[in-house]
Amino acid sequence: MKIEFLPEAKAELYDAVNYYELQVKGLGVTFKSTAKSTIKRVATFPTAWTEIKPNIRRCIMHKFPYNVLYSIEKDCILIIAIAHHHRNPNYWTNRVK
């Protein structure tokens, strides 16, 4: 299934990549690869993860303290947030209608 990102979610992804890359060279690349494989799992099995709000699901990334929050749309998977576990858990709710 096709994947689309809200602009805020794409910014969160790149912010996290940059942050980890500044911490340890190569760690940002590892984070990006892990995020991509998580999103690929979501695209392959979109209904496999917990629905945390109506039509919003959460897939937990391996090795990093992040969730991929997404909705299943008519023609795509919409990535709503790449959310750190320690951030306010509902900060992204104003992104969805």
For 7, the domain range is 3-84
What is this structure's pTM? 0.93
pLDDT digits (tens, 9 = 90+) for 14-45: 999 999 999 999 999 999 999 999 999 999 99
Contact 39, 68 (CB under 8 A): yes
**Contact (CB, 8 A) for 61 and 67:** yes
Q: Where residue 85 falls among pLDDT bands split at 50, 70, 90?
A: very high
Contact 37, 7 (CB under 8 A): no
Is 74 within the bounds of a domain?
A: yes
Per-residue model confidence (pLDDT) at position 1: 85
Does 26 map to a domain? Answer: yes
In a domain, 94, yes or no: no
Domain membership of residue 93 (yes or no) is no
Is the residue at 92 inside a domain? no
